[in-house]
Amino acid sequence: MNSKKTNAAVAYTGEDDFRYETVTIEPPRADEILVNIKGVGICHTDLSFKSGAIPYPFPAVFGHEGSGVVEAIGDAVTKVKTGDHVVITFRSCGACELCSVGDTAYCQNFWPLNIIGCREDGTSSLSNDVGSVASNFFGQSSFAAHTITYEHNIVKIDPNLPIELFGPLGCSVQTGAGAVMRSLRARKGSSILIAGGGSVGLSAVMGAAIQQCATIIVLEPFEGRRELAKELGATHCIDPTSEDDLVSTIKEIVPNGVNNALDTTALPEIMEACFDSLGANAILGLVGIAPPGTPMPGNLDDLFMGGKGIKSIVEGDSNPDEFIPELVAHYQAGKLPIERLIKTYKLSEINQAIADQKSGACLKAVLIPDSEEPSV
């Protein structure tokens, strides 16, 4: 197989907008898989790297919530075959101490496999007329009509499902739902406070409903998101911007404090309110990426006296080979209606999609390569 032309949204240093352009993609090497992308979610992490705040090579193709159909496989690939429908998640090595016990989200090789913009040998699968284009973002770079990815990135799903909607299971949905279902292991009948009603927060709400939490409190300033949170299972929604004393308002609902809290905002005052709302023996999970130097919420004596804990959570502690099929089964049972979170755009409309996600006009933008037909 030869290199081929495909379309991608390419980020350039110092440019606010992505450029939609033609790039060349190499054929898959022995351990690689060529996927024809059908949909890809936009996650905040894509935009953090695009901003240049974290060192990364440019020009670059981002995108790490892809889904699509396997178009070709390398000689050493056995996990999938051509035509299989796959969700593409983060990349893990599968061999380190943490991967070998299923803690793949904490893979000891996470950074070089996901965040250096090239293969481990320094080459890139993507180029344009000028030269090399950084690829391999989260082992996928799926803001494109085709991508090269790896066995540990992919989870096969039922071909009868609307594949273009399932990319977010690979990051934001598994992060929110997994935080509640796996990291916090919220108990049936328990209470949980979820700060933030974006795609991660609302996935956490769906996860809490699946766990049959009795009290699900959501903090979210946008009214539309609070309404959707209620429809997805929240029992109480609070606009944090209209409260003078957020903790008292939460304690009116759960006088002894919540059994668990999850912050998706990384805002210091919100994390502090989450901490102060914890009941005895309760855990605060943190999934938002706080700027360097952000202080820890709470103080040590409050932590000790109540047996409380704070846990940072990556990708919902997901082991994707187990957890993504579990999430798909919940979708099929009507308990994880991801389509309620999603608005689709053409890949070439990426800049509008980002603007809408930032303004709150859309909760989770999913980009569909221009050659494909969106279903929602």
Residues 308-337 interacting with ligand CXF (rule: CB under 6 A): 314-315
Q: How many binding residues for ligand CXF (CB under 6 A)?
A: 6
Helix (H) or strand (E) holding 228: helix 223-232
CB of 200 to ligand CXF, least distance (A): 8
CB of 138 to ligand CXF, least distance (A): 8
Which of 289, 329, 361, 376: binder of ligand CXF (CB under 6 A)?
289
Dist. CA 115–CA 93, nearest whole Å: 13
Q: How many binding residues for Zn ion (CB under 5 A)?
A: 3
Build a one-symbol-per-residue string for 282-301: x at contacts with Zn ion by CB under 5 A, - elsewhere: --------------------
Choose from Zn ion, ligand CXF, none: what does 314 bind? Cβ within 5-8 Å by kind: ligand CXF
Which of 171, 206, 213, 234: binder of Zn ion (CB under 5 A)?
171
**What number of CA atoms fall less than 13 Å from residue 9's CA on the CB side?**
31
Which of 45, 183, 260, 277: binder of Zn ion (CB under 5 A)?
45
Dist. CA 223–CA 229, nearest whole Å: 10
SS3 45: helix
CA distances from 262 to 7, 277, 278 (A): 38, 11, 10
Pure H helices in 61-193: 110-114, 172-178
SS3 200: helix
Dist. CA 71–CA 64, nearest whole Å: 18
Nearer to ligand CXF, 209 or 314 (CB): 314
77 near ligand CXF, rule: CB under 6 A: no
Strand 191-195 and strand 215-219: the pairing is parallel
Nearer to Zn ion, 45 or 260 (CB): 45
Strand 278-286 and strand 309-312: the pairing is parallel
Residues 35-54 interacting with ligand CXF (rule: CB under 6 A): 43, 45
Instruction: Return residues touching ligand CXF (CB under 6 A).
Output: 43, 45, 171, 289, 314-315
Instruction: Return residues touching Zn ion (CB under 5 A).
Output: 43, 45, 171
